[in-house]
Amino acid sequence: MGKLNIVGGGAIGSLIAASAQKNGVPYDCYPRDMKTMPSCAHWQNGQTTALKPAKPSPIVLPKSDVLIFPLKVYQLKAALMQWLPYLTQQPTVVLLHNGMGGLEVARDLLGGDYPLLLATTSHGALKVSTSNGFHVKYTGVGATQIGAPNVNKPSPQTLTDLSQIVPQLASAIATLDNALPPVQYQSNILKALWTKLSVNAVINPLTALHNIQNKHIAKPEFEQSRIAICDEFTQVANAYGLDFDALSVHENVLSVAKATGENYSSMHQDVAHGRQTEIDAINGYIVDMATKKGIPVPENTLLVERVKALKL
């Protein structure tokens, strides 16, 4: 089994590290700032797992290793550039982020045939600052969807099929599943990522703009905006060959908002803490893709403008 190498010291990356520690999966963390790297994780059952000391700088990784980037899309290019000289053995790279655009960044820097995996997770984690330093808190049990966008079509339909074509990628998925299960292989990972985008496009900006928890998105006062976002999303996604139904998209958004009702979205937290948001990789991505197809998306365009205005 290869080692997991986790870039950054964010909540999800730290959660993966802590779960790897708990499950006996070898790992190392490479935070941007050593001082803010969480030292332990608190689980929902009250248990605590201490993390091993982080590494200060990249090293050359063997092919059998897995390098995971659980970062914001806008952080990805700089992080990949930093690691590029150390990827001579072509270890598997995993992109794990909200929003879209990371695949394009990775292909530009790594090439279209690099052993790459795209993932999206519904696990919840919160990075907490205390008098004893930083900790990570596991806030919600979820699952991770993962797929191989650079494997030539037709895409392998099952993990067994993938293991026969690109065993390196199948092994990397197994390592991630051992660290923080369940990790579920998706033959059409782009559809899964667009599905996640549809949820983020509604919940993230509305919770950030109105300073509310996810559950409040389901209220009647937001119905008109929810429906408009979902309608525009569906038009754009389907223009790129995907197959979404606006009503089903809206129902899924409501389901997720209720299931994660007590949570504050990542964009809400970014605004609350004065950090850069991921609006460009979420609603901004929808706007960019719509522009290329000549599709008007006034609701998503307005949300991008309003969220960016919050930072002024």
Alpha-helical segments (H) within the chain: 11-23, 73-83, 102-110, 159-165, 167-179, 189-210, 223-239, 246-259, 266-272, 283-293, 298-309
For residue 267, CA distances in Å to 7, 8, 42, 101 come to 21, 18, 23, 17
Could you give the 3-state DSSP secondary structure of residue 292?
Answer: helix
Q: How far apart are CA 296 and CA 13, in angstroms?
A: 37
Closest by CA to 149, choosing from 184, 103, 80, is: 103
Q: Quick one: DSSP state of residue 260?
A: T
Question: Which is catalytic among the residues 55, 63, 153, 196?
Answer: 196
Integer Cα distance of 310 and 270 in angstroms: 11
* Among 249, 253, 248, 246, CA closest to 222: 253
Question: What does each C-alpha distance from 56 to 40, 134, 266, 295 come to in angstroms?
Answer: 18, 17, 27, 46
Extract the tokens encoding 226: 């929810």
Considering just the CA atoms, what is the radius of gyration of the chain in Å?
Answer: 19
Q: How far is CA 293 from each of CA 154, 238, 297, rounded to the nearest angstrom?
A: 26, 11, 11
How far apart, in whole angstroms, are the C-alpha atoms of residue 212 and residue 124? 17
Length of the chain: 312
- 196 tagged catalytic: yes
Which residues belong to the active site?
196
